[in-house]
Structure 1
Amino acid sequence: MRLIPPRWAKRLRKHGARWALGLLLTALAALYTLDYLPLAAPAHLDTFLSDQRMRLEPAVLDPRVVIVDIDEKSLSEVGRFPWSRDVMARLVARLAGHYQAGAIGFDISFPEPDTSSGYAVLQRLAQGRLKDVAGFEASLAGLKAELDYDGLLAAAIAGRPVVLGYNVSDKQLKGVLPAPAFTVAGLNGRAVSAYTARGYEANIARLQQAARGAGIFTAMTDGDGVVRSSTLLQRIGDGYYPSLSLAVCAVYLNARAIAPYFDETADSLSAAELDNGGLDYISLFVDGPRGRGQIGIPVGEGLTTTVQFRGRGGPEGGAFRYVSAADVLAGKVAPALLKDAIVLVGTTAPGLNDVRATPVNAEYPGVEVHANLIKSILDNSFKSRPSYALALEFLQVVALGLLLTAALAVLSPLPSVLLALAATAAVVGFNYYLYSAQDAVLNMAAALLLVSALFIVNLAWGYFFEVRRGRALVSRFGEYVAPELVAEMADDPEKYTMEGESRELTVLFVDVRGFTTISEGLTPKALREYINLYLTAMSEDIRDSHRGTLDKYIGDAVMAFWGAPVAFADHASRAVATALLMQASAARLNLDFIARGWPPLRIGIGVNSGLMHVGDMGSKIRRAYTVMGDAVNLGSRLEGITKVYGVGIAVGESTRAAAPEFAYRELDLVRVKGKHEPVAIYEPLAPADQLDAATLAELARWDAALAAVRAQDWDQAERLLAELGAAAPERGLYALYAGRVAWLRAHPPGPGWDGVTTFDTK
């Protein structure tokens, strides 16, 4: 009992190795998606693709966020930076009072007191060299409030929606931290993974106490120095402190709390799940005029979120409006641009070192990183990796791998290229759809690399194995068939095979008459030239003129066939035409040979059509592409029979039926050695439309004579044969039948005679 059907067994033998290799590549890609196979190249490619995808984000201006830029113009008009805090106080007063900004966030920190007013110097003079100057100390006391720049800034900040920024580090503890968003104690035993800072450089107490909040503006870069994500909160001590963007949004939206959101309760989580807390979102609980409810910000490992960059960044980037801080101080900005907007105070001036490398621009203003995060929070739209990402990536890789593994092994080059391109387009299109329509960030490097690897492997396999094997096959066929057939086969070698099969074909045998006598009458050198000229002429007629397959040379004999490896529906006609051409070539050679003083050349040709076995046959030592079968044996017998009937060509009745465009002379009904059934044999004369009237009349008289013989009408047969013999004394066929009639008259065959001639020898 066969476990595998023959059809599939053949496919497994042909494509099994390629399928196995494809499945191996698919398995490796699947393991990579499941994080069981850490590979650097796909990870780098995913990063590159993510960056390119980010570049496609449209730069649509968002009027809700405005960047007050401490630019070169501001430095030129106001002075070098950092500015004294009385200037910053005027800036805050302008923004909050005159322009009525909805929230003000500083991408700047104030970690040390401002002594630039000179008040401390004057105070020392009042207590020293100028203490005896009448009224000086009293006047100085009156100037204290005016020269207390920190106090001026604190007063400007107090009661207004101002959020300060600060930096975290591992080196120092400077300034005063704001109140944390939540603490470890508030997590009810859950361990939330977050980036932990050992130090900070925060704002001085007077300013921090006056502000509504503060946020961390420290940039977080990947290993290549590019900012792609940002922490929403970082842990300092037992508290979790928000980023500048999150803190600004909390003030702007009047959020009552920033809190972690867990999908499961602590009681329902396993010990392993408790280790990462099951935290999926950071929530803003909003309760104010700009909205109510909960905004969930998806976070990944370390409480990070992906920054969705828009535009190219900077004043010309197109995503956010930039106004010069100098124009704000001078009151030159249209109030409508800043009213109720979130204002971020930052700098783009060269030398102030607030430029970041991002996926969309290698010199991207740091303040605009916060602007992009704020926009995402306000829109409640985040590009994040969903919970189903891993499963979808795995299924995508497996489905693509199975499809391409099965298909690429059997497709020709052009369909393979089209399929690989279609698969690549499908992966990219599906991924971009999820990214743009569902805000889902999926990795696609594994799928794209798998498509590329499967295509390249199958292409290389096709070249190094299939194509080379096909070319080798065609090269071998070049020994048998005409050059134009070789070129045709080379275009699609997969269609041709040397494996054994059965086909309707036509075979031809040709032999030199009296070759033993010829060889005895020539020197070895002359004999070699004689036979070479003969074989060359016959081979050219077979291969080049009628695209036959040259099988072999058997001494002075030649064997050929038509219909394989290239199939021809008219194989019989080609063989008959070739036989006639070979007789003409032999007649031409004969004139040349006689002129050289060589023995004359006469050949006999046998042609037969029928079902034959064709393929690469032989032994382990030597093999050849040849034909076998009863139809082949009959063709060989017909070549020998030509000597008996005195004709140059004899064909079987199946050949005559398959090539009706030629005129034939029936020779006999024969029963050759090894066969019981009689067959009719014929001599092809020429294409039927080329016979002259005399030849047609001769054929009609011959058909009548043959009919008389088979009817045992000996008188009529003798009369007709005599007339034919007198008209064509060189034709031995008529003399043969005249002798046969004489013998049959003397030895009557009786009423049961079938008119068949039996040959007991080959």
Structure 2
Amino acid sequence: MKRARQLLSRYGGRWALGLLLTLGAVLYPLDYWTSHTIERQDTIIADLRVRLEPFEPDKAIVIVDIDSKSLNEVGRFPWSRNIMARLVDQLTGHYGAGAVGFDVSFPEPDTSSGYAELERLAGRELKNVPALQRELAQLKPQLDYDGMFADALRGQPVVLGFNISSDQAKGVLPAPLFTTDFLNGREGRAYSAKGYEANIAQLQGAARGAGIFTATTDADGVVRSSPVLFQIGDGYYPSLSLATLAAFLDAKAVNPVMHGTVDTLSDSDKQASAFDTIQMFTRKAGRVVFPVGEAMISTVQFRGRGGPQGGAFPYVSAADVLAGRVAQEVLEGAIVLVGTTAPGLQDLRATPVNAEYPGVEIHANMIKSMLDGRFKTRHWSAQVVEAGLVGAVGVVLALALAVLTPAWSVLLAACAFLACGAFNYYMYTQQDMILNVFICLLLVASLFVLNLAWGYFFEFRKGRALVSRFGQYVAPELVAQMAEDPQAYNMDGESRELTVMFVDVRGFTTISEGLSPKELREYINLYLTAMSEDIRSRHQGTLDKYIGDAVMAFWGAPVSFPDHAGRAVATALLMQDSAARLNTDFLARGWPELKIGIGVNSGLMHVGDMGSAIRRAYTVMGDAVNLGARLEGITKVYGVGIAVGAATRLAAPEFAWRELDLVRVKGKNEPVAIFEPLGKPAALAPGVLDELAQWEAALALVRAQQWDAAQPAIEALAAAHPARGLYALYLQRIAHYRAHPPGSEWDGVTSFDTK
């Protein structure tokens, strides 16, 4: 008893909180509470589970693909019905396909032969021309394309496709599989539609049947399931996959099966959820049974990535079928689905395995599941299994984690996490049972964190760790601010709008050759100290790293600033002033001159703790970072100390700017405008704004290729400001363009092929 009291005193609080968390988690699969976030995570896990399941290629189902090759050889789609007739003749007559399903509908007559117009003329304007009447009678078999297609369909195991609609009834429906009368008063809830776009009567009457190929999507636009039966009015109609399989097996009847009998079912059970099976009575295979989900919708078991190269089913080009180039054994006796992967024909769907998955292959996967008699289903007992698993895992962890050391807690939690995932995957792959697992994983993580944090001064330890990790990167006052709310900051990777800066010493190799090792060390230390103080102390930047004599910094992380671009530009101007002061001191010591170039750019960047197991750093990466580095490198080309990207210039309108050029840097295709910041307009020397206006007018003349007007304008600027290397550069360019005109398509962009 004493030992029990000691355990309760020491661990009772943790046990009680852990069991309370477990109880809350158990109530989730029993529908006592819901969470869209958890549902979304379960969807993500389900998609991953689909992608991980292995598959074997199946040659019994073949997709005849109306692909780009077919469009090039035969012509644009839709093809005339005489071509479709030839395709059917080839598949059924020449190759002996077991069944053919068209993932295509034919809701309107084919008038492409011109026969209808000839018939109209013969009945009106040319009705008194007997020869025409005779010729038409002879030509009709050759020009009645719908008749030719119907003749090809007649007596063959060919199924046409059709679509459902909400606002029209077009074409002729096939005979329903069964009607509401068959249900004998029971509710047979299925995917319902008010209208349809079916096939013309001539074709529908000749075909073995028809199936609906409409794709159903989840809220995120992804196809994960497919109805097996659809309800239109009082009739129930098959999906294209079910209709094609029925034709292949020569089915006599298809209907749903309920749990038990009508007499044994309660009123609440006489609902759609009671239907869990579809049965077919066939001449070839006897009684065929396969399960369906609620509302007669089944989860699609996607096999492979889809398409000719990544799917589980062989693809052959429709052009090759028409030309007889396909090997006989590929199509003989196979279930053939005619569809398209050509991008312009709009039959590519977003699925868990591929964002551009051929719609026809969805039907192939459904047929494969029907043939195997196996569907991934969420059985009525799934909630009970989930609640039992969550309860068992939660109780074990709640009791055990409280008494284990941190190392053993990590091991137990990891094992529980993996065991939950493995059990879920086993039930999916081996038992075809769909179970949700995220609530169980979330409970494992929650119990682990609860017990790890218990007993520690969490906020204190977190704050102290934060100061230790970020103190070398950011200003002390920012570290103090972060320590006040440590949960709001971490070193995890994320994407943010930031501003990055790169600084480099001009001619550092020459400088290093002119100084002794001791002098060089002091030279660099003084320079880096001044630059680092300007970055951290004055404008709260984050010092990223030193790269030899270069400095990298950024603004906007870990502490977010809405004016990160303005802070970076102000820092760049301050650093140029600091470099000038240092240069005066260095020259007085007899040291080489100090000049620096600075590149600044803003944009979306990845920021976080990055590196290897050996060494890591809190840094930024991305295209915007690379552009900032390129801008630092090209400052010397334009004779300026600072070069800034267009995004930074837009984000810092409080400064006056001189546009330098439109450039295309190495590694990027799109040109960007680059600018030189001059400072706040109110602080500029007299005449600077007038000089800017003159330069902008001259630059516009250069881009308009008006060399005669641009040259004197820039010469006047160069004479007034002889130290400005930018003007000399553009005078050289004008001379070059006069000798080598860039042409009317010149976009004014300067390309840099080096970093």
TM above 0.5, yes or no, is: yes
Give the alignment of 1:359-370 within 5 angstroms.
359-370=352-363
Q: Which residue of 2 aligns with 1:196?
A: 192
- 407, 423, 430: which one pairs with 2:423? 430
Partner of 1:83: 79
- Taking the aligned partners of 1:83 and 1:62, their CA distance within structure 2 comes to 29
State the secondary structure of the residue aligned to 2:436.
Answer: coil
Once the 2 structures are TM-superposed, how far is the Cα of residue 436 of structure 1 from its aligned partner?
1.6
Residue in 1 that maps onto 2:398? 405
Moved more, 137-146 or 456-465: 456-465
SS at match of 1:395: helix
Residues 15, 257 of structure 1: CA spacing in aligned structure 2 closer, same or farther, 3 A cutoff?
same
Per-residue deviation at 1:294? Answer: 2.8
Does structure 1 residue 351 correspond to structure 2 residue 344?
A: yes
Matched with 2:364 is 371
Aligned partners of 2:459 and 2:217: how far apart in 1? 49
2:323 aligns with 330
Distance in 2 (CA, whole Å) between partners of 1:52 and 1:465 is 35
Aligned counterpart in structure 1 of residue 60 of structure 2, from 44, 53, 64: 64
Determine helix, strand or coil for the equivalent of 1:125. helix
Does the C-alpha gap of structure 1 residues 203 and 462 become closer, same or farther in structure 2, counting only changes over 3 Å? farther
2:723 corresponds to which residue?
none
Q: Aligned runs of 1:14-413 on 2, under 5 Å?
A: 14-133=10-129, 135-276=131-272, 278-288=274-284, 291-295=285-289, 297-413=290-406
Counterparts of residues 543-562 of structure 1 (less than 5 Å): none
Residue by residue, what CA displacement relative to the aligned partner does 1:65-118 show, whole Å, maximum 9, x if unpaired? Answer: 000000001001100000000100000000000000000000000011111110
Distance 2:187 2:278 in 1: 15
1:58 deviates by 2.5
After superposition, give the CA deviation of every residue in 1:20-49 in whole Å (9 maximum; x if it has no partner): 211121111111110111111221111111
Indicate the structure (1 or 2) with the bigger Cα radius of gyration. 1
332 and 467 in structure 1: CA distance in 2 versus 1, 3 angstrom threshold: same
Q: Which residue of 2 aligns with 1:416?
A: 409
> Once the 2 structures are TM-superposed, how far is the Cα of residue 310 of structure 1 from its aligned partner?
0.3
The AA in structure 2 aligned to 1:330 is A
Counterpart Cα distance in 2 of 1:116 and 1:393: 59
Residue 753 of structure 1: aligned partner: none
277 and 54 in structure 1: CA distance in 2 versus 1, 3 angstrom threshold: closer
Q: Does the 8 Å contact 2:26/2:390 carry over to 1?
A: yes
Asked whether the equivalents of residues 154 and 206 of structure 2 are also in contact (C-alpha less than 8 Å), the reply is: yes
Judge conservation of contact 1:68–1:343 (CA < 8 Å) in 2.
yes
List aligned pairs for 1:569-718, cutoff 5 A. none
Residue 131 (structure 1) shift: 4.3
- Residue identity (%): 61
Tell me the CA shift for residue 460 of structure 1: 2.1
Q: Cα deviation per residue 1:642-666 (whole Å; 9 max; x = unaligned)? A: xxxxxxxxxxxxxxxxxxxxxxxxx
> How far off its partner does 1:277 sit?
6.0
Give 1:404 deviation, angstroms. Answer: 0.4
1:250 Cα deviation from its structure 2 partner: 0.8
- 1:455 is aligned, of 444, 448, 451, to 448
Go from structure 1 to structure 2 and tell me whether the alpha carbon gap of 1:467 and 1:267 turns closer, same or farther (over 3 Å shift). farther
- Tell me the equivalent position of 2:563: none
Distance in 2, matches of 1:467 and 1:405, equals: 25
Secondary structure of the structure 2 residue equivalent to 1:82: coil
CA distance in 2: counterparts of 1:330 and 1:411, whole angstroms = 72
Q: 1:128 to 1:270 in 2, by over 3 A?
A: closer
- Tell me by how many angstroms 1:125 deviates: 2.8
SS of equivalent to 2:278: strand
State the SS of the aligned residue for 1:26. helix
For 2:234 and 2:60, locate their aligned partners in 1 and report how far apart those are by CA, in whole Å.
Answer: 34
Deviations 1:490-518 (A, max 9, x none): xxxxxxxxxxxxxxxxxxxxxxxxxxxxx
SS of equivalent residue, structure 1 residue 284? strand
- Asked if structure 1 preserves the Cα contact closer than 8 Å seen for 2:349 and 2:357, the reply is yes
The CA distance in 2 between the partners of 1:468 and 1:60, in whole Å, is 53
> Residue by residue, what CA displacement relative to the aligned partner does 1:655-711 show, whole Å, maximum 9, x if unpaired?
xxxxxxxxxxxxxxxxxxxxxxxxxxxxxxxxxxxxxxxxxxxxxxxxxxxxxxxxx
Cα shift readout 1:255-279 (whole Å, capped 9, x = no counterpart): 2211111121111111111233621
| Residue in 2 that maps onto 1:530 | none
Output the CA distance in 1 between the equivalents of 2:406 and 2:177: 61
Count of residue correspondences: 463
Q: Unaligned regions of 5+ residues in structure 1, if any? A: 472-762
| Aligned partner letter, 1:368 | E
Where 1:315 maps in the other structure, the secondary structure is helix
Matching of residue 445 in structure 1 with residue 438 in structure 2 = yes
Q: Is the 8 A contact 1:59 1:317 kept in 2?
A: no
Opposite residue 295 of structure 2, the aligned amino acid is G
SS of aligned partner of 1:351:
helix
Q: Name the SS for the 2:142 alignment partner.
A: helix
Answer yes or no: is the 8 Å Cα contact 1:175–1:203 preserved in 2.
Answer: yes
SS in 1 for 2:454: helix
The letter for the 1-side match of 2:122 is A
Q: Is the 8 A contact 2:165 2:197 kept in 1?
A: yes
What's the CA shift for 1:417? 0.6
Offset, 1:57:
2.5
Contact persistence 1:103–1:248 (CA under 8 A): yes
Listed one character per residue, the Cα deviations across residues 555-586 of structure 1 (whole Å, up to 9, x for unaligned) are xxxxxxxxxxxxxxxxxxxxxxxxxxxxxxxx
| Cα distance between partner residues in 1 of 2:262 and 2:319 | 53
Q: Using the alignment, how far apart are the partners of 1:276 and 1:259 within structure 2?
A: 14
Q: Secondary structure at the match of 2:310?
A: coil
Give me the whole-angstrom Cα distance separating, in 2, the residues matched to 1:331 and 1:209: 28
Shift of 1:132: 5.0
Partners of 1:391 and 1:189 lie apart in 2 by 30
SS class of match (1:258): strand
Rounded to whole Å, the distance in 1 between the matches of 2:165 and 2:122 is 40
8 Å contact 2:272–2:295 — kept in the other structure?
no
DSSP-derived class of the 1:185 partner: helix
1:138 offset after TM fit, Å?
Answer: 1.3
Letter in 2 for 1:445: F
Deviation at 1:322, TM superposition (A): 0.5
One-letter code aligned to 2:205: Q
User: How has the CA–CA distance of structure 1 residues 466 and 80 changed in structure 2, closer, same or farther, with 3 Å as cutoff?
Assistant: closer
Q: Give the C-alpha shift of residue 128 in structure 1.
A: 4.4
Go from structure 1 to structure 2 and tell me whether the alpha carbon gap of 1:256 and 1:131 turns closer, same or farther (over 3 Å shift). closer
Q: Give the corresponding residue for 1:733.
A: none
Question: What SS does the aligned partner of 1:463 have?
Answer: coil
The residue identity in structure 1 corresponding to 2:241 is: S
Instruction: Give me the whole-angstrom Cα distance separating, in 2, the residues matched to 1:242 and 1:124.
Output: 39
Rounded to whole Å, the distance in 2 between the matches of 1:282 and 1:111 is: 29
2:172–2:199 contact (8 Å) kept in structure 1: yes
Shift of 1:466: 12
